[in-house]
Amino acid sequence: MDQYLLAILIAFLPPILYTFSNLLESHMSNSNFKSSVAIAFYGNVINFCFVPFLLIFGMPQAIPDGMLWLVLLSAFCSLAYLIPYYAALKVLQVSVAVSLFAMSSLIVPVLSWFVLGERLHPLNYLGFAIVIASSFLISKGRGAIKLNRGFWYMAVACSVVAVDLMIVTKLLIEMDWISVLFYNMIFTSMMVSTWLLVAKLRRNIVRSWPTFKENAAQVFLFDGLDTAAAVAAVFSLSVLPVVVKDGISNTQPLFVLAIGVLLKVLGGSKVAFKESTTRREILRKASLLTFMLAGVLLLTL
């Protein structure tokens, strides 16, 4: 199979895997863990356990001269976006929070304009407007239009994710995808361990220890899904243009909506996802998500 076509197919794995991971994270965030810091801490510590599985694909190369600061910055971004994201999950429905990740599709081309000197086609700007409008309408619900806390939490998370995407794209020019992901996992785990040096963060982490022990299997599961999705994402990014990879990632809200509704129907009140499953709300979100994907398509032309 052609490598480009293979990368396209693999690029669809992250939105599917992240869907299950996000729904599980939302469940734990709303029913188990009360601290966004704690769930980010324990998740990233466990992430270190999956490093040996990455080595199945090959051994990492040494970090090239002058690249260490970018590797560290990417690891920091991979950790930093989690705090506003988990905070958003406490306010927004999962499909809404994931839909707002489409804002990163706006930030990436803007960064490319200033950092790489890339100029955009008028259709790309039309795509920008469509994605922004769709994200705004999805996040407002059926009430009055407003920029709520969840929207701003996701705006911060998307900004960090967009910066990280630019950094990883640059790293992949000098390093293979295995090395990029290997050092990201190592340094992210090291960075999160420094949270124990901050008294307030340490108290939240220690206070959540009993909750973690009770839900360790779930934490291992969602972190395993995240790791598998990251492997697929970085590999596909090493082959595909960044806008193509980013556009495919924006199909995730469709999977979130479908799988989230299915789990709510099967699990009923036992499922603690903040997801409305009324017929009217499902049709409204599906229409807006279709509209958003049309904007993403224009964005990637």
Where in the chain are the domains?
3-299
End-to-end CA gap in the chain? 24
Tokens of 129: 């407007």
- Cα–Cα–Cα angle for 9, 10, 14, nearest 5°? 120
Task: For residues 19 and 8, give the distance between their C-alpha atoms in angstroms, rounded to a whole number.
Answer: 18
Phi and psi, residue 2, nearest 5°: -60, 135
Q: How many helices (H) and strands (E) does the chain have?
A: 17, 0
Contact (CB, 8 A) for 79 and 192: yes
Q: How far is CA 177 from the centre of its chain?
A: 18
The packing angle between helices 252-267 and 279-299, to 10°, is: 160
Q: How far is CA 185 from the centre of its chain?
A: 15
Per-residue tens of pLDDT for the chain, all 301 residues: 578 788 888 988 988 888 888 777 766 666 667 777 888 888 888 888 899 988 899 999 999 999 999 999 999 999 888 888 888 877 777 667 776 776 776 677 677 677 656 666 777 667 767 776 776 666 555 444 456 787 888 888 888 988 898 899 889 889 999 999 999 999 998 999 999 998 888 998 898 888 888 888 888 888 888 889 999 999 998 887 776 777 777 777 667 767 766 766 666 555 555 555 567 777 777 777 777 778 767 766 6
- What pLDDT is stored for residue 73 in this prediction? 96
DSSP letter assigned to residue 113:
I
Give CA torsion, residues 290, 292, 294, 298, to 10 deg: -170
- What pLDDT is stored for residue 191 in this prediction? 92
CA-based nearest residue to 16, from 236, 216, 166, 187: 236
Task: For residues 15 and 194, give the distance between their C-alpha atoms in angstroms, rounded to a whole number.
Answer: 30
